[in-house]
Amino acid sequence: MPQDVLAEIQTLADLRREIRAGRMTGHTAGLAPGKLQCNIAILPAAHALDFLRFCVRNPRACPVVGVGETGDPGLPTLGEDIDIRHDLPRYRLYRDGQFVEERTEIAAQWRDDMVTVALGCSFTFERALLAAQIPMRHVEQNRTVPMYRTDLPLVPGGPFGGTMVVSMRPLRGRDVPRAIEICARYPQAHGAPVHVGDPSEIGITALDRPEWGESVTVRPGEVPVFWACGVTSQNALLAAGIPLVITHAPGHMLICDTDEDATGPARTT
C-alpha cells in the first residue's frame, strides 16, 4: 500500500473507503487488528442452499459467519455499510469452474440472484497465537502460508464435496498444547488443528511442495501442525462447475465491523 494512502487511514471507515475507491488493492493481513476478516463466496441463489448445507456439514473447513439476502450486496450483521460489490481489495471470477479474471470491484457482475456467504479466516487465530508468543514461520519468512490437499473426506452437500485442504504451521513441541487450547476458542476461524505430526497420515506426500502458498522451514524440534483451510470451500465451488462464482483473491479479505473474538452461531442477514 502506498505510504500516502496508509497515512490517511485512521479508522475502519477510512480503510473501507480506500478499498471501495480502489486505492487499497493489497492483501489485508495485519490491517484493522481485532476485527473479523472473512473469506467470501458469491454464487447464484439456485446453488446457495446446497453450498450452505456443505459448509454447515463441514464447519472446521467452512465456518459460516454471515449470509446475505438474495440480491442484496449488504451484510448488516458484519458491518452496517458493507457493500460486497466494492469492499474487497481484489476479487476472482470463475465460470463453469474455470478462472476468468481478477477485479477490484464487481458492480457490473452483480445480479439480482446472487447470494454472499462469509466464512471465517485463519488471520483470527494467527493473531491470537502471535499474541501468546507462539511464532508463525510464514510471517517470519514473509511467505504465504503453505496449503495442501489431504485425503480427509468432506461430507457432501448437493454438487459440493471432495477432500479437505489444510494449512500448515510448524510449532515447537512445547507450544502445541497451548496452540490447540487457543485455537479451540475460535470455531468461527477453523478452530483447533485437525492433525499434528506425520503429514502422510492425512495424505500429504511432500511437505516441501504445497499445492498453494509457499513452503516454509521446519526446524529441528518442531512439529508440523495442520489446520482446516478456507481453500476447501473454493475447491468445492470450482469442482462443482457452476456457471458463476465470485470469491476474494487469496489474502484479500472482507474486513468486518465485528470483533474477531465474537463467537457463537453463524450470523445471517
CATH class of 123-232: alpha beta
Contact residues for 37 (Cβ-Cβ < 8 A; gap 6+): 28, 121, 123, 124, 253, 254, 255, 256, 260
Contact 199, 207 (CB under 8 A): yes
Which amino acid is residue 120, in one-letter code? G
C-alpha cell at 204: 500429504
Alpha helices (H) along 92-217: 123-131, 137-140, 176-183
Judged on CB neighbours under 10 Å (0-12, 13-18, 19+), 168 is buried
Contact residues for 187 (Cβ-Cβ < 8 A; gap 6+): 59, 63, 263
- The pTM (predicted TM-score) of the whole model is 0.87
Beta strands in 88-218 (DSSP E): 91-95, 98-103, 114-120, 147-153, 163-172, 195-196
Tell me how many helices (H) and strands (E) the chain has.
Answer: 7, 11
Contact 194, 152 (CB under 8 A): yes
What is the rounded CA–CA span in Å between residue 66 and residue 258? 11
pLDDT of 39: 92
What is the rounded CA–CA span in Å between residue 32 and residue 2? 17
Judged on CB neighbours under 10 Å (0-12, 13-18, 19+), 27 is middle
| Residue ranges covered by each domain of the chain | 29-120+241-259, 123-232
Which amino acid is residue 222, in one-letter code? E
29-120+241-259 has which fold?
PSTPO5379-like (3.40.1640)
SS3 (DSSP) at 132: coil
pLDDT of 268: 42
**pLDDT, block means (10 residues), the chain with 269 residues:** 46 89 84 88 97 96 96 94 95 96 96 97 88 91 89 97 96 96 93 97 96 91 95 93 93 88 48
